Structure 1
Amino acid sequence: MIRTLLALLALASPVAAQAATRHPPVHGAQHVADWTKTIALTPDGGMRIGNPAAKVKVLEFFSFTCPHCAAFATEGATPLIQNYVRGGQVSYELRPALRDAIDLTMALAARSVATPRYFDAVGAVMGAQQDWLPKAYDYISANRDKLNSTDNTPAIHAMLTSIGIEAMLAKQGVTSAALERGLADKTAEAALQKTTNDAWNVRHISGTPGFFINDAAQPDIHGWAQLEPAVQAAIKG
C-alpha cells in the first residue's frame, strides 16, 4: 500500500504537488493505535484481540459445532472488533468450550494458524459451518475404523481435506504439514482441555456462546443484539 501511494504521488501533476505543499501535516497530532493488530495467546488458553489493558474485557466461550456461536461469529464479531476493539476500549478473547470430537479437531486445526490470523481463520470456519459440519458427520460415519485407530491423525487430516477446511486454512497461510503438526499438538490439546474444563466445570456456563464482561458472567446474553448494549454500558460505567 505504501509503495502504491508513493507511485501515485510521483505521477501527480505539479499543481497537485503544490496543493500538497500548501497543506502540510498538522504538527502535534496524536497517532491513534489500531488494536485489531494486537493478537495474543493468553495464559488461560484463549486468544485475545485488542488492548490487553482495555477498560472492558469481553470473553466468549465458544464451540466450533454450535450454530449459535456461528451466528455470533457472522453477525457480532466484526462490529465488536471494528467498533469497539479497534480503538482500545475493549478487548475480545475467544476460548473454546469443546462439546465433541469434531469440536476438538476444529479447535486444533485453528491453532495451526499463525496467531495474527487466528480471528480471521475462526471467522471463515464459523461462517461456513452449515456447509462443512454435515460433511464431517458423513465422513465420520464412513470412516469410523480409521478414526478409532491408534494413529488416527492421517484420517482426521483427510477429513479436514474432504470437507474443505484444509483449503480454507490454506488461505490463512497454513501448509498441509503445519496442519498435520497442529492436529498432533499435545500442548495445544491440553490448553483446549483447560479452557473446556474452566467453561463447563468451573464457571458452569449454561451453553455456548457463553459471554463474560470483565469476568462477570452474562447469562442472558446470547447474541450481538444483547451484547452491544452491555458493552456500551461497561464503557460508560
Structure 2
Amino acid sequence: MKRRHILLSAASLALVPLLPRLTPALAAGAETVDDSDRVIGDADAPITIIEYASLTCPHCASFHTDTLPQLKSEWLDAGKARLVFRHFPLDRLALRAAMVTDCLEKDRAFFGLLATLFKSQQDWARADDPIDALQKHARLAGLSEERFNSCIEDEGIMDGILATLEQARETYEVQSTPTFFINGRKVEGNRSYEDFAAILEDVQEDS
C-alpha cells in the first residue's frame, strides 16, 4: 500500500514545471513510436501526432469529441498522419481509468472505450461512485467484472502508465493536457479542427 501511495503521488506532480524549455533535438525525440504505443492511422504516414492526455481532463474530452472525428476523416484515414495516444493522468481517477483502458489488447477496442469515456466524462467522472460508473462502461467494452477488478489493481499496468508520465514530464516537459508533438513540434492545449489542420499543413510543407 505504501508503494502505491508513492506511485500515485508521482502522478500529482505532473503539472509541476521543473525543467527549462526543450531544445529542438529533444522535442524531435518525442515522435519515436514503439510496439507498446496505441495508434490510429497508417504506420507509414508522413506525420506522427503524439498526444498526451488525461481521461478526466475536460480539454482532452473536447479534443476527442469535437476535433478528432474530422481529423481522423481528413488526415488519419487518408494516410496523411497517424495519432499515437499516451496517458498522462492528472489525478487518481484518471490513473484508474487509464489502467482499465490499457487492459484492452486491441487498439480498436482501446480507442473505442477511450472515445466513450471522453464523451461521457461528465457523467462517470463526477458520479457518486466513479469506479462503479467506470466499470459499467468497461463492461460494455468487453471487460468482465472480474477482469475489471484485476486491471484496476494491477501494479504492472500502473507502473507502465506512470513511467510514461514521468518520461513525458522530465524529458519532453509536458506540463498540461492535452499536449501534442507533431513530427516533434510541441503544441499545447485543445485546438479547433481548423487550427489543428493549419498546423498539420505547415508541418507537411516542412517535411
Settle same-fold status: TM greater than 0.5: yes
- CA positional deviation for 1:48: 1.2
2:177 matches 1:185: no
Selected match of 1:120 from 112, 132, 136: 112
Relative contact order (alpha carbons < 8 A, sep ≥ 6): 1 or 2 greater? 2
178, 184, 201: which one aligns with 1:215: 184
- The one-character-per-residue Cα deviations of 1:158-209 (angstroms, maximum 9, x if unpaired) are x522xx2222222222221221221133332122012111222221123100
> 1:45 touches 1:195 (CA, 8 Å); kept in 2?
no
Which secondary structure does the structure 2 equivalent of 1:204 belong to? coil
Q: Is the 8 A contact 2:38 2:84 kept in 1?
A: yes
The 2-side partners of 1:117 and 1:82 are apart by 19
Root-mean-square deviation over aligned CA pairs: 1.9
What does 1:148-227 align with in structure 2 at a 5 Å threshold? 159-161=130-132, 164-219=133-188, 221-225=189-193, 226-227=195-196
Structure 1 portions without partners, runs of 5+ = 1-41, 140-158
Q: Distance in 2 between matches of 1:192 and 1:44?
A: 15
Structure whose alpha-carbon radius of gyration is higher? 1
Deviation at 1:134, TM superposition (A): 1.6
Match of 1:18 in 2: none
Distance 2:123 2:97 in 1: 14
Q: CA deviation at 1:45?
A: 5.0
The answer on whether the counterparts of 2:62 and 2:190 sit within 8 Å (CA) in structure 1 is no
**Equivalent-residue separation in structure 1 for 2:191 and 2:140 (angstroms):** 28
Alignment partner, residue 99 of structure 1: 90
Q: Does 1:110 align with 2:101?
A: yes
Identical amino acids, percent of aligned pairs: 21
**SS of residue in 2 equivalent to 1:76:** helix
TM-score when normalising by structure 1: 0.66
Count of aligned positions: 172
Structure 2 CA distance for aligned equivalents of residues 181 and 73 of structure 1: 27
Structure 2 vs 1, CA of residues 84 and 117 (structure 1 numbering), >3 Å: closer, same or farther? Answer: same
Aligned equivalents of 2:95, 2:205: Cα separation in 1: 38
Deviation at 1:44, TM superposition (A): 7.8
Q: Secondary structure at the match of 1:80?
A: helix
CA contact (8 A) 1:61 1:209 kept: yes
